[in-house]
Amino acid sequence: MEVLFVLVAFVVFTVFKGVRLVPQGYKWVVQRLGKYHQTLEPGLNFIIPFIDTVAYKITTKDIVLDIPSQEVITRDNVVIIANAVAYINIIQPEYAVYGIEDYEYGIRNLVQTSLRSIVGEMDLDSALSSRDQIKTQLKHAISDDIADWGITLKTVEIQDIKPSHTMQLAMEEQAAAERQRRAMVTRADGQKQAAILEADGRLEASRRDAEAQVVLAKGSEESIRLISSAMDGKEMPVVYLLGEQYIKAMNDMAQSDNAKTVILPADILNTVKGLVGDKLKG
């Protein structure tokens, strides 16, 4: 009776070992006597107990691989920090487990190496503004390599790409210097324009003063001509005009706020007498 019970238990255990229920989203890799035999699809599967063993349980869902940040040197010798995210899917689990020791580690290194190579051929400005271009080249560079491992690269995204901390400080200093230079140029242009306007103002004032002098001179000339014509060519009109201007100048000097003393010529009386005498003779 005990032998029969043990036999039945052994049969049940053997049947249990031969039945495998693979959950959705996974594939199981079966080895027979240590060698790859088959890949179990999701659902009910049967294997030979004690001969076949489930060696690997591989997910068929998309896997997100975070690619660590790394320093990359651009073509113009600028250090930038870049990292990425890769989305992969395992379509042939047997290649993923037998083709490489650690496929996640391998893919991370492939992405980092390809990223350094791509960015190394670009200038800083291009690297910072061409994420889509880098993404396309990166996907093309590693897709064929990981296909040998039974893995499909769904997409790869550049998560972050920026200058290093030292380079950021240098760029900020450069931007500040450029702003200061523009301010100095603007200030100098303003001073230049102000000086030009001031010079133009002085030139216009001098021109108008000159024109006024010409007008006054023409007025005096016309006055002398009219008086000379009226006096029939005698010298008296000229003497009269000179005397009038002389008296006016002396009057202005006397009325000035700064005038303390009025100086009269020594022969002023003779001059006046001469004028009066000439008038009487006329």
Q: At what angle do helices 103-119 and 131-147 cross, to 10 degrees?
A: 140
What digits encode the pLDDT tens for the residues 51-84?
A: 888 999 999 999 999 999 888 888 888 888 888 9
pTM, two decimals, is 0.58
Coil vs helix vs strand at 63: strand
Phi/psi zone of residue 13: left (φ > 0), alpha (ψ -120 to 50 degrees), beta?
A: alpha
Which regions of 14-62 does DSSP assign to beta strands (E)? Answer: 19-22, 26-32, 35-40, 43-46, 52-59
pLDDT range class, residue 241, cuts 50, 70, 90 = low
Residue 158, phi-psi category: left (phi > 0), alpha (psi -120 to 50), beta (remainder): beta
Q: Which of 38-47, 182-191, 208-217 has the lowest mean pLDDT?
A: 208-217
Most confident range (mean pLDDT) of 114-128, 205-219, 220-234 is: 114-128
Tally the residues of the chain: 282
Specify which residues 151 forms β-bridges with.
Answer: 90
**pLDDT tens string 8-64:** 777 777 777 888 899 999 999 999 988 999 999 999 998 888 888 899 999 999 999
Q: How far is CA 207 from CA 93, 98, 197, 214, in A?
A: 97, 99, 15, 11
